[in-house]
Structure 1
Amino acid sequence: MGDLILDEYVYGVPRRLSREAPVPIIEYEGSRYVPGGACNSASAAAAVAETVHLFGFVGNDQNAKRLLPLLQERGINTSGVIVVPDWQTVTKTRIMAGSIHTAKHQVVRIDKGTPLVGQKTLHERLAAAIHQAAPNIDAWLISDYGYMTVGKPVEEVLKDLSAEGAVVVADSRWRIHDFSRITAVTPNEEEALEFGRYMLNFEKDVRRIGESMLEILQLRYVLLTRGNKGMILFSADGKRKEIPVAGTTEIVDVSGAGDEVAALFTAGLGAGGDPLMAAELANAAAGVVVMKRGTAVASTDEIRAKLEEVSCRGAHPEP
């Protein structure tokens, strides 16, 4: 659940410079739409889990009509998606340009959509939907991109579910500090350092930051992702495991990698898995996704192959 986003890719070939401004003129070739944000996390979970429910908001617009069928095609239950009149579905449009015989590269990104700040009634509707569905759901993932889908009423319901034994994991770009008393958070290194700046008097040691997150936010786990340096799993029992990157350090595209990690870690914990095994599953899935261009997810077969590859070269740590 969280910020539902449509990712749009617009492809074209640069032909010449414009006389209006020193910018290239891109000749349009085509467009592609894929689920982004919490929708990408749901897609990643749906690739490995039997049932995935999605909760959040979309507008009553054309981009919602594009997004919802994409989710349903992936087997995702969208009954928890609330349509908001007079609001724009969050959309990120990437202009991808390149010659016919070369890979397309992102030229610019255009973001549409406004945060749902102060929308207490909407947040209460979402909290009620989550509470009603809770008996049928083992694990919850909060995917927060700053559009305020998860307001205070939703936060409180999820904290209550965590206290009752449900797995609740948060992947938040801007406000990790708001997600306390849940199972885990999955920050990347930049997000962890930001937490260190504002919550720990400019602390820069990510290991100290991870340990402090556990204590300050009252979590069971912190899974800290570090790009081509792998991951670190912190546990409330004082254990810490450093997990090497699964695959090459030559990354093609990081789009959606954080969503993949959060989704697979949540799915692993929700299935009753050991946290280290869940983290290694997430690490393997991320190793697949970063080798794909654009927002993408890893299939079960791809994850299995990556785990076998890592095991064969002895890259993952001994328990």
Structure 2
Amino acid sequence: MRRPAAVNGIAHLAGLLDRIAAAEVVVVGDFMADEWVYGETERISREAPVLIVRWERSELKPGGAGNAAQNLAALGVTVRAVGVVGDDALGAQLLDTLAAARVDVDGIVKVRGRATESKTRILAGGRSTRRQQMLRVDRAPQAALSPTADARVARELQRAARGARAVLASDYGSGSIGAPALEVLRALARGGLPVCVDSRYRLVHYTGLTMVKPNEVELETASGVRVDGLAALERAARAVLRKTGSAELLVTRGRHGMSLFRKGHSPVHIPPHGAQEAVDVTGAGDTVAATYTAAIAAGADPESAARLANVAGALKVQKPGTATVSRGELLAEMVKG
């Protein structure tokens, strides 16, 4: 049974959603295409012992930094995207999809000869049955960005950050945030602009910024500390805060909720919101990072931002696949009794 919002201590966050709608945020990072291909399985191929899938429909959703950008747009935030795509049909489709979601894509650089990163999932089943994932095909650029492309991304980041209230760096390991862009991020943070980081593999590279958001596995990797309890969690978090020089660290902990660590403050452990089992955790980290950054851009304190992000993450995992959580959905959750 879901606990009342007032008991969860989130009802007071409803007013924050109005301020979020006036915020401006830059998302820089790895933009990729999540493709979903649906079909019906009718028979086994004569050519090989594999199922033949008769195509029914397909859809494309922005993944990685694109998912974070769409989550921000769903909250009503003005979003400017910075990153790279290939100069190909998939890249054009990805940009069109982001633009349709009210994301400013002028800062995304098209790189000639580079493939737009994608994850194509094949979902199929028999007639009148639920479609299930059979196969995933990933396409990723093999070469690092050229120095010229790195410099272009850094320039676009500087341009997009003018007038912004916060920056979210979404690093999935594809190399879109090179050394020049990282230096821009550090300069922005030194100038007082909040810079939040969600990095899968390079967390400790993001030094001198405002906030880092690992999950427990990423925290273990970055700290070298096995997280097997709250005491170990705190040791790991404090180690990463020292390594990165960040002011804040938000750890997403799945069914254990979240934990916020700040220099000079006691840890804040936030229990999971609601009592429903997760349907799909795909992209939940993007939702959390986007909501936290939006709240910070709106002037929220870190704990309020984390609590709002905790609610958004709980709503996201009730949705299949890559999905967003809207301002209206969050507001409805705030007023639930």
> Which residues in structure 2 correspond to 1:1-319 (within 5 Å)?
1-114=28-141, 117=144, 119-197=146-224, 200=225, 205-309=232-336, 312=337
**1:108 deviation in Å?**
1.7
Unaligned runs of 5+ in 1: 313-319
Residues 299, 28 of structure 1: CA spacing in aligned structure 2 closer, same or farther, 3 A cutoff? same
Q: What percentage of residue pairs aligned between the two structures are identical? A: 39
Q: Does the aligned pair in 1 maintain the 2:284–2:316 contact within 8 Å?
A: yes
Query: Which TM-score applies when normalising by structure 2?
Result: 0.87
Tell me what 1:316 maps to: none
Distance 2:107 2:72 in 1: 16
Aligned residues: 307
Secondary structure at the aligned position of 1:136 is classed as coil
Distance 1:23 1:208 in 2: 49
Residues 102, 223 of structure 1: CA spacing in aligned structure 2 closer, same or farther, 3 A cutoff? farther
Q: Does the aligned pair in 1 maintain the 2:296–2:305 contact within 8 Å?
A: yes
Tell me what 2:13 maps to: none
Q: Does the aligned pair in 2 maintain the 1:116–1:148 contact within 8 Å?
A: no
Q: Does the aligned pair in 2 maintain the 1:59–1:84 contact within 8 Å?
A: yes
Listed one character per residue, the Cα deviations across residues 164-200 of structure 1 (whole Å, up to 9, x for unaligned) are: 1001011111110111110111111111122233xx5
Query: Which TM-score applies when normalising by structure 1?
Result: 0.91
Secondary structure at the aligned position of 1:6 is classed as strand
AA matched with 1:41? A
Residues 36, 184 of structure 1: CA spacing in aligned structure 2 closer, same or farther, 3 A cutoff? same
Listed one character per residue, the Cα deviations across residues 49-108 of structure 1 (whole Å, up to 9, x for unaligned) are: 331000000111110121111111111111101111011111110111233434322222
Residues 4, 273 of structure 1: CA spacing in aligned structure 2 closer, same or farther, 3 A cutoff? same
Q: Does the aligned pair in 2 maintain the 1:281–1:307 contact within 8 Å?
A: no
**1:118 deviation in Å?**
5.4
Distance 2:333 2:292 in 1: 16
AA matched with 2:308? L
Distance 1:245 1:177 in 2: 27
Distance 2:31 2:154 in 1: 16
**1:294 deviation in Å?**
1.1
**1:116 deviation in Å?**
5.1
AA matched with 1:250? E
Distance 1:275 1:3 in 2: 25
Distance 2:105 2:307 in 1: 29
AA matched with 1:6? A
Q: Does the aligned pair in 2 maintain the 1:115–1:146 contact within 8 Å?
A: no
Listed one character per residue, the Cα deviations across residues 272-311 of structure 1 (whole Å, up to 9, x for unaligned) are: 10111111111111111111111000011111223334xx
Residues 77, 237 of structure 1: CA spacing in aligned structure 2 closer, same or farther, 3 A cutoff? same
Aligned-residue RMSD, C-alpha: 1.7
Q: Does the aligned pair in 1 maintain the 2:33–2:117 contact within 8 Å?
A: yes
Distance 1:115 1:175 in 2: 18
Q: Does the aligned pair in 2 maintain the 1:116–1:149 contact within 8 Å?
A: no
Q: Does the aligned pair in 1 maintain the 2:167–2:195 contact within 8 Å?
A: yes
**1:115 deviation in Å?**
5.2
**1:122 deviation in Å?**
0.9
Residues 203, 225 of structure 1: CA spacing in aligned structure 2 closer, same or farther, 3 A cutoff? closer
Secondary structure at the aligned position of 1:135 is classed as coil
AA matched with 1:38? A
Distance 1:254 1:10 in 2: 20
**1:129 deviation in Å?**
1.6
